[in-house]
Structures are given as structure tokens and as C-alpha cells.
């Protein structure tokens, strides 16, 4: 995403950033005081250049801390805070239902796994997809 802008990267040697899953990923540098808007609200923040596939921008806890007190309502999917001289309230969008927890013990665990992952345990209906290196078994005389 950053490569499609005119922003100037400030290189940082050996900088690594800890991401949400606790992995430390390499960071080639920082874009300082980048202006951006969300729902017509103007902000500016330092952006770290990170190789995060599937995401253009991640606004982390450091940025959220700059907003001051935040009121979250997870049942209503809202986030409210004061920005400059007025109250901002953002409304989230409900996504697909995520994974659910289910308690299983001993005897019913196998059945629960088979039901949950029917696509994995389904009877094969053909040959596996081609691989970069296929192996074959040759019959000996």
C-alpha cells in the first residue's frame, strides 16, 4: 500500500515490531505523521512499514491510546470517543459468525471432530491435486 503513495520512508536498520500474535516481524522503516481520515475525521499517526498480507493499514493500541478514553459497546458494535471538540461514534459492521466453543469429552470428541470437519474427513473422490514434486510407486518384477 505504501509504495503507491508519495510518502517518504525513514529507514530503520534492524527494527522489528511485535504484532498481535506476538511474532516479531521485520520493519524496514517508519512513515512519520501520516495524515488520514476515517469517516470524515482527520488524524495523523506514525505508520510502521510491515509485511502484513491482506491488510493495508493496522491501527494499533498506540494509536487508540492517542484518542483518550474510549467507550466500547460490543453488543451494539460501537466505539465512541472525543476528538478535538466533538464526540465521535463509529458503528461497526456485523461479520459472519466466528468459531464457537463446544465442550467435548472422551467418547463424543471423535464424533464432534468428524462432524465439525466433514470436508477434511470426507471420502476421497479422485486423485489429489498435482504437486510441484509428484512421486510414483513402480512395481518390481
pLDDT digits (tens, 9 = 90+) for 16-69: 988 888 889 889 999 999 999 999 999 999 998 888 777 778 888 889 999 999
pTM of the complete model beyond 0.75: no
Give the three-state DSSP class for 122: coil
- pLDDT tens string 57-110: 888 888 999 999 999 999 999 999 999 999 999 999 887 777 666 666 666 778
d(CA 121, CA 114): 7
Domain boundaries, given as residue ranges, for the chain:
2-91
**What percent of the residues of the chain are helix, what percent strand, and what percent coil, each to the nearest 5?**
15, 35, 50
Cα distances from 65 to residues 5, 31, 92, in angstroms, run 26, 19, 19
Amino acid at each position: 500500500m505504501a509504495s503507491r503513495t508519495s510518502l517518504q520512508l525513514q529507514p530503520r536498520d534492524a527494527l522489528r515490531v511485535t504484532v498481535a500474535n506476538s511474532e516479531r516481524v521485520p520493519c524496514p522503516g517508519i512513515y512519520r505523521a501520516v495524515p488520514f481520515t476515517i469517516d470524515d475525521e482527520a488524524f495523523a499517526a506514525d505508520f510502521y512499514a510491515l509485511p502484513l498480507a491482506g491488510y493495508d493499514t493496522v491501527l494499533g493500541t498506540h494509536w487508540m491510546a492517542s484518542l483518550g478514553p474510549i467507550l466500547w459497546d460490543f453488543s451494539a458494535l460501537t466505539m465512541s470517543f472525543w476528538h478535538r471538540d466533538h464526540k465521535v461514534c463509529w458503528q461497526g459492521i456485523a461479520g459472519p459468525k466466528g468459531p464457537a466453543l463446544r465442550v467435548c469429552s472422551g467418547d463424543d470428541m471423535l464424533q464432534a471432530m468428524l462432524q465439525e470437519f466433514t470436508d477434511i474427513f470426507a471420502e476421497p473422490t479422485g486423485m489429489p491435486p498435482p504437486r510441484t514434486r509428484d512421486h510414483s510407486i513402480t512395481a518390481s518384477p
